[in-house]
């Protein structure tokens, strides 16, 4: 079927034709009007992309039906600070964008982009927000831009362990969204000790181990929320999570964890959400989790091998695993 959508070069021509009547040529431009977008799609004339004014600062093509490769000519827009191609049908690889030294926000999420992430992303000095979630990316994560605040690569096929080298220099990184990929191996202490990190979401991957170190006194420790659910993590629940002073949400549900629930979690005043369900945890959970003044308000300890988990507490739902399953998990030994 013939593609009825205009080429991006046609789009750019009509975009500036409309904008010129209302906006001074040095002002940042963006498209939000549905009627304008419809007109742009219908426009049939062609023009060389090199005619795009170099002063363009904002280009927002969110939620349209543009398809094909992302034009490499976008890299010539040196003044661009915001580029959103979110929710289109772009395919092919992620361009290098080496010329976009002023770019602060790049959103390519919800497309059909494939292949590895270009290493050139690490050379974008102004980039603070990067979202390429829900595409078909593969490979490992390259070195990140030095001033990045938010990293979102959810819903791809990224693989391998997380490399400390990729995050080296990411002193300002606050949000790490890498859920629903194929990341494997161990999570090492450096990830949780990134100087500014607050949220880490690595749910639905193939991680097998997590090592957590206590934050140094007077530095780091700004971690607020961690989600490592639905992986293959073995070993015990890291008690050092409780040493992060601002931690309020911890999810380790549906892994392969064994042993007791750390007593420190019962005394953690900031911990509001705790999901440890779907593991093989044994013993008696900390009594403080069920007291009238308990900090934890949401969560689950169900589907484990716990004993004396109060049936009246919502934290103990769903019910625990059958004894036979628990004995098998512990080599035939009782779990009480």
Assigned CATH topology for domain 24-329: 3.80.10
What's the whole-number average pLDDT of the chain?
A: 87
Q: Kindly indicate the confidence band of residue 48, based on its pLDDT and cuts at 50, 70 and 90.
A: very low
Put the strands of the sheet holding 58-60 in their side by side order.
Answer: 58-60, 82-84, 105-107, 129-131, 150-152, 175-177, 199-201, 225-227, 249-251, 273-275, 298-300
> Token pair for residue 95?
């361009």
Q: Would you say 255 and 229 are in contact if contact means Cβ atoms under 8 Å apart?
A: yes
What number of CA atoms fall less than 13 Å from residue 299's CA on the CB side? 25
For strands 206-210 and 234-235, give the pairing.
unpaired
State which H helix or E strand residue 326 sits in: helix 323-329
Domain spans in the chain, listed from the N-terminal domain onward? 24-329
d(CA 200, CA 254): 17
Q: Which residues neighbour 35 within 8 Å (Cβ) at sequence distance 6 or greater?
A: none
d(CA 10, CA 49): 8
Residue 242: other Cβ atoms inside 10 A: 21
Burial of 26 by CB count in 10 Å (0-12 exposed, 13-18 middle, 19+ buried)?
A: exposed
Model pLDDT for residues 79-116, shown as the tens digit of each residue: 999 999 999 999 999 999 999 999 999 999 999 999 99
Model pLDDT for residues 271-318, shown as the tens digit of each residue: 999 999 999 999 999 999 999 888 999 999 999 999 999 989 999 999
Q: Which residues neighbour 333 within 8 Å (Cβ) at sequence distance 6 or greater?
A: 327
Per DSSP, 323 falls in state H
- Rounded to 10 degrees, the C-alpha dihedral 8/148/103/177 comes to 20
User: How many angstroms from the chain centroid is the CA of residue 217?
Assistant: 28
Q: What is the pLDDT of residue 190?
A: 97
Q: What is the pLDDT of residue 50?
A: 62
Q: What is the pLDDT of residue 31?
A: 47
Q: Kindly indicate the confidence band of residue 332, based on its pLDDT and cuts at 50, 70 and 90.
A: confident
- Cβ-count burial 295-333 (b if 16+ within 10 Å, e if not): bbeebbbbbbbbeebeeeeebbeeebbeeeebeebeeee
Residue 48: other Cβ atoms inside 10 A: 10
């Amino acid at each position: 079927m013939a593609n009825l959508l205009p080429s991006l070069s046609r789009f750019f021509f009509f975009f500036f034709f409309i904008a010129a009547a209302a906006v001074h040529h040095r002002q940042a431009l963006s498209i939000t009007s549905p009627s304008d977008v419809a007109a742009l799609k219908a426009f049939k004339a062609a023009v060389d992309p090199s005619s795009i004014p170099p002063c363009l600062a904002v280009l927002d093509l969110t939620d349209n039906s543009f398809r094909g490769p992302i034009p490499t000519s976008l890299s010539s827009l040196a003044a661009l600070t915001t580029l959103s191609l979110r929710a289109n049908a772009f395919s092919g690889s992620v361009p290098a964008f080496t010329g976009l030294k002023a770019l602060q926000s790049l959103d390519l999420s919800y497309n059909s982009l494939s292949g590895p992430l270009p290493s050139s992303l690490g050379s974008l000095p102004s980039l603070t927000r990067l979202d390429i979630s829900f595409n078909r990316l593969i490979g490992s994560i390259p070195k990140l831009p030095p001033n990045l605040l938010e990293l979102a690569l959810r819903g791809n096929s990224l693989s391998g362990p997380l490399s400390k080298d990729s995050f080296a220099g990411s002193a300002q990184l606050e949000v790490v969204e890498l859920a629903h990929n194929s990341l494997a191996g161990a999570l090492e202490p450096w990830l949780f000790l990134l100087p500014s990190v607050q949220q880490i979401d690595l749910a639905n991957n193939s991680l097998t181990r997590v090592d957590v170190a206590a934050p140094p006194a007077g530095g780091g420790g700004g971690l607020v929320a961690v989600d490592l659910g639905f992986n293959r993590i073995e070993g015990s629940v890291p008690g050092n999570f409780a040493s992060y002073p601002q931690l309020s949400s911890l999810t380790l549900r549906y892994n392969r964890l064994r042993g007791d629930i750390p007593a420190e979690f019962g005394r953690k005043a900031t911990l509001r959400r705790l999901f440890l369900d779907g593991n093989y945890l044994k013993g008696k959970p900390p009594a403080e989790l069920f007291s009238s003044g308990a900090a934890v308000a949401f969560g689950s300890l169900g589907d484990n091998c716990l004993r004396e988990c109060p049936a009246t507490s919502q934290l103990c739902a769903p019910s625990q695993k059958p004894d036979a399953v628990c004995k098998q998990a512990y080599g035939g030994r009782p779990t009480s």
